[in-house]
Structure 1
Amino acid sequence: MERKNTWLSYNEEDKKNLEVLASDYKEYLTNGKTERECVKESVKLAQRAGYKDLEHFIAEERQLKPGDKVYRTWMDKTIVLFQIGSKSMEEGLNILGAHIDSPRMDLKQNPLYEDTEMALLDTHYYGGVKKYQWVTLPLALHGVVIKKDGTTVEINIGEKDTDPVVGVTDLLIHLSGQQLEKKAKVVIEGEDLNVLIGSRPAKDEEKDAVKKEMIQIFQEEYGIEEEDFLSAEIEVVPAGPARDFGLDRSMIMSYGQDDRVCAYTSLAAMLNVEDAERTTCCILVDKEEIGSVGATGMHSRFFENTLAEIVALTGEYSELKLRRILQNSHMLSSDVSAAFDPNYPQVMEKKNAAYFGKGLVLNKYTGSRGKSGSNDANPEFVAKLRRMFDENEVAFQTAELGKVDEGGGGTIAYIPAGYAMDVIDCGVAVLNMHAPWEITSKSDLYEVEKGYEVFLRNC
């Protein structure tokens, strides 16, 4: 089943709208390189669109009514938004769910040390990465330090033109004979991902003079001491903004597009949809890259607890009503798929691969080796989406994550499916997935945002 390239169908107005969306998306990527930053950006956009903090409604026991738009954050790393529909919530919600964490390096709790008059930071990589991709890059430090008195110090070093950058060094080619004999997964070991941050010694110090110089810089510029790293959450990410990619500017290159390309388009669709009959919901969660665990991952009860609060504020609460709402809901697990790469055709089965320019991607199942760990959506739900997208001229394609037994991966889809709701993975094809710099097609960005709006209005 051949799918046409969507670029060929666009008129001038489409192209203009596409570029506006792409520009806003690049700004979101550039400003949101951590989960906390994404939540902060999302709150700004939500408030601009008229969404109110649910906590105020809870505190005042103020009833929610059709048309009300609310959001709630949790631990500054997860956000969920609701727009109350005109139909009874027991008929179910239309939900978009994406994750806003991305592969990176995290500073250890005791990270700062000196070796041969160089100051370095020890890291622990987060998520599935090819470790050799993270050396010799300009890197930035993003995150927070929470001091003992509860004060929060925000860290963002390496993004301004005047900022210094940091990085992980690599062995020079002239001395790397033994290194190049190693398998790719151990060319760079996890414990060797140490970030070089300084080499100037403090005056009048005999021991660890460079480290002490760095401690002085942290104290003077941020008011933090070495022990404050014990309660810090600092991420090491590629430095620099999201940019157009390709001489025709048809693509975007940026850090963190898995899964912020789907997170942003889900949020944009949610904010654009007004007066839907069914209550609509968008949830952007943390920790997907390490199994959706913890208090801010999809496995936590945050979503269920917040929905319970919503139900209580829209009428009489009952456990049975909550369960009916969940099982009658429809959800698009807004997550990326692997784009076909002509440099590596051997890992793909061409009839069932995702391609740039062919629209949003439906992954009926993900998982690995026998669909292990996958959701595997029902064909009735797939048929409903096919009809909906065709009727509203949304370009879509279907795909698997590579050849059978080649590898695999997972999403959050199986977790909400545990409530017995219909769920399918639906997102954007990505090149360089999990690399420091990932690539997406602007036309796919445009189609997936359009598709998400259609889903929220019509499913």
Structure 2
Amino acid sequence: MKCADADLLAALMSLIDASPSPAHLVRNVVKRLEASGFQPLTEELPFELEPGQRRYVVRDGSALCAFRIGNAPLEEAGLRIAGAHTDSPALKLKPRPELETREVRSLGVEVYGGPILATWLDRPLRLAGQVAVLEGEMVRRRLVELPFHMTVPSLALHLNREVNEKGLILNPQTMLPVLLADGREKIPSLEALLGDLLSCAPECIVGHDLIFGDATPASLCGLGGEFLSAPRLDDQAMCCAAIEALCGLEESLDTTAVTILFDHEEIGSRSNRGAAGAFLGTMLRRMTASLGKDEEAHLRTLAGSTLLSLDAAHALHPNHASLHDPTTPPLLNRGAVLKVNADLHYGTEALTGGQVRACCRRLGLPLQTYVHRADLRCGSTIGPIVASELGIHCADVGPAILAMHAVRELMGVADLCSLTTLTSAFFTAAEFAPDRASARQG
């Protein structure tokens, strides 16, 4: 795959602007897949697969598994799996969110994941996600985005004189309700607003998973436009890289390439569509069974498979350089970052890290390394979860970004191309092929 920086960057910016929620992201990914010849599968129906096919499965609207079946037997070639997640830290609407204080109407929220809360203040916010709608006797999911913006205003300096010295501490219960209306007139209920958008009666709205996000479009900044400022770069940029790499593969492949986009990574991955659930394992088992493989062949397939876990890395912050390990400070626009942690909060080990380095060296791709300071607690990714659940090899890779978990994050535009090129190469590169001779030697 040849990476065109401008086209790829435009694709990512359009994807982010059109994807205010995980479900919207998956909908837009499906459009990209179908434009590249991928066809849907339904989990409730039998899988009928054969080499050369391009197929995808959507689970509950917000997670997706797409794959291209190669010509080589799975038990000989293994699987190349690129993984990312569709969710980002956010403010999630409560089930009964309406609040009225001094004639002002607000909406109560819960904190989803670990956002930097102060960054959510004083900006236009969009509300979007999935709504459960009663249609006859069935309850179905519908996508929705409210057609107006809201905001959470901060407290004026004159009422909080020490805010710049002591910092801003926000109580999410009392300080983060989102301003909806001034209350001078009677306003419709949330169910009525949603019903109008979905052309149904308010009483047919029986549930919702709605989140707030930054309404300002993605934009370039820096002297030469070398930085991308956007919401949800973690992890929509990685979803974009994984899908573009999969769609850009050559027509005929020996290896079987899989892209898995999980939901709920930011809250621990423990759901039916999270990395700690059975989604990926079920898809792989059904794939091997549909191709006529028995249990022995399935286990041999997993033994020769590798996951490339795609998630953001912490770029060296120029104003807080002392918080980074001095030996491995990733920089923006210097290439993808291989993430390593002694406690395996990242899934990279000596073998898989060596495979990534060798692949990048052969292709002339820049590669950086990240290790967290030993005196700070490290985050984690889907990598170790999937590796332990399935017993497969794993490497953790991602672009360096600044302001991780802020409402807007910052990455280098060149790093998107580097990561996509690496992911595309991973699907076919000899460096990641199962080493059967070494396995026989122990």
- TM-score in same-fold range (> 0.5): yes
Aligned partner of 1:395 in structure 2 is: 366
Shift of 1:229: 6.5
Aligned partner of 1:156 in structure 2 is: 145
Q: Which letter maps to 1:312?
A: A
After superposition, the Cα gap between the structure-2 partners of 1:441 and 1:390, relative to the gap in structure 1 and judged at 3 Å, is same
Contact map agreement 2:88 2:113 (CA 8 A) in 1: yes
Shift of 1:372: 4.1
Q: Does 1:240 align with 2:240?
A: no
Q: CA RMSD in A?
A: 2.3
CA distance in 1, matches of 2:366, 2:379: 24
Shift of 1:183: 5.2
Aligned partner of 2:435 in structure 1 is: none
Aligned partner of 2:352 in structure 1 is: 381
After superposition, the Cα gap between the structure-2 partners of 1:306 and 1:227, relative to the gap in structure 1 and judged at 3 Å, is same
Shift of 1:96: 0.4
Shift of 1:224: 6.3
Q: Which letter maps to 1:407?
A: R
Q: Does 1:323 align with 2:312?
A: no
Aligned partner of 1:337 in structure 2 is: 313
- 1:324-359 Cα offsets, whole Å, 9 max, x none, are 222220111011100111111110123212111210
Shift of 1:124: 0.2
- 1:377-436 Cα offsets, whole Å, 9 max, x none, are 3312222221211111111111123x2212320001111211222101111111111001
Q: Does 1:268 align with 2:275?
A: no
Q: Which letter maps to 1:52?
A: Q
Contact map agreement 2:41 2:47 (CA 8 A) in 1: no
Shift of 1:442: 1.0
- The correspondence for 1:101, drawn from 76, 80, 87, is 87
SS in 2 for 1:351: coil
After superposition, the Cα gap between the structure-2 partners of 1:255 and 1:279, relative to the gap in structure 1 and judged at 3 Å, is same
CA distance in 2, matches of 1:224, 1:178: 49
- 1:261-312 Cα offsets, whole Å, 9 max, x none, are 1111011001111223221111011011011111110111111111111112
CA distance in 2, matches of 1:174, 1:282: 51
SS in 2 for 1:333: strand
- The correspondence for 1:193, drawn from 147, 172, 176, is 176
- 1:58-86 Cα offsets, whole Å, 9 max, x none, are 84663x22211111111111111111112
After superposition, the Cα gap between the structure-2 partners of 1:188 and 1:225, relative to the gap in structure 1 and judged at 3 Å, is farther
Shift of 1:170: 1.3
Aligned partner of 2:37 in structure 1 is: 50
Shift of 1:55: 2.8
CA distance in 2, matches of 1:262, 1:411: 12
- 1:221-254 Cα offsets, whole Å, 9 max, x none, are 5556776665111111110221112231112111
Contact map agreement 2:82 2:310 (CA 8 A) in 1: yes
Q: Which letter maps to 1:399?
A: Y
Q: Does 1:422 align with 2:385?
A: no
Q: Which letter maps to 1:435?
A: A
- The correspondence for 2:150, drawn from 166, 169, 184, is 166
SS in 2 for 1:350: coil
SS in 2 for 1:434: coil
SS in 2 for 1:394: coil
Q: Percent identity?
A: 25
CA distance in 2, matches of 1:134, 1:122: 14
Unaligned runs of 5+ in 2: 433-442
Aligned partner of 1:69 in structure 2 is: 54
Contact map agreement 2:144 2:197 (CA 8 A) in 1: no
Q: Does 1:457 align with 2:428?
A: yes
CA distance in 2, matches of 1:219, 1:84: 42
SS in 2 for 1:408: coil
Number of aligned pairs? 423
Contact map agreement 1:119 1:214 (CA 8 A) in 2: no
Unaligned runs of 5+ in 1: 1-13, 158-162, 203-208, 366-370
Contact map agreement 1:308 1:317 (CA 8 A) in 2: no
SS in 2 for 1:132: helix
Q: Does 1:26 align with 2:2?
A: no
CA distance in 1, matches of 2:183, 2:412: 44
After superposition, the Cα gap between the structure-2 partners of 1:215 and 1:45, relative to the gap in structure 1 and judged at 3 Å, is closer
Contact map agreement 1:109 1:230 (CA 8 A) in 2: no
Contact map agreement 2:67 2:257 (CA 8 A) in 1: yes
Shift of 1:145: 2.0
Deviates more, 1:388-397 or 1:71-80: 388-397
After superposition, the Cα gap between the structure-2 partners of 1:219 and 1:282, relative to the gap in structure 1 and judged at 3 Å, is closer
Shift of 1:187: 3.9
After superposition, the Cα gap between the structure-2 partners of 1:218 and 1:298, relative to the gap in structure 1 and judged at 3 Å, is closer
Contact map agreement 1:131 1:188 (CA 8 A) in 2: no
Q: Does 1:309 align with 2:286?
A: yes
Contact map agreement 2:345 2:378 (CA 8 A) in 1: no
Q: Which letter maps to 2:180?
A: I
CA distance in 2, matches of 1:60, 1:221: 35
Shift of 1:364: 2.4
Q: Which letter maps to 2:92?
A: D
Contact map agreement 2:80 2:305 (CA 8 A) in 1: yes
Shift of 1:322: 2.2
Shift of 1:323: 2.3
Shift of 1:317: 3.3
Contact map agreement 2:92 2:210 (CA 8 A) in 1: yes
Contact map agreement 1:180 1:187 (CA 8 A) in 2: no
- The correspondence for 2:235, drawn from 239, 252, 259, is 259
After superposition, the Cα gap between the structure-2 partners of 1:439 and 1:190, relative to the gap in structure 1 and judged at 3 Å, is farther
Q: Which letter maps to 2:375?
A: D
Contact map agreement 2:54 2:67 (CA 8 A) in 1: yes
Deviates more, 1:308-317 or 1:76-85: 308-317
Q: Does 1:176 align with 2:152?
A: no
After superposition, the Cα gap between the structure-2 partners of 1:118 and 1:229, relative to the gap in structure 1 and judged at 3 Å, is farther
After superposition, the Cα gap between the structure-2 partners of 1:197 and 1:373, relative to the gap in structure 1 and judged at 3 Å, is farther
After superposition, the Cα gap between the structure-2 partners of 1:107 and 1:60, relative to the gap in structure 1 and judged at 3 Å, is closer
Shift of 1:191: 3.8
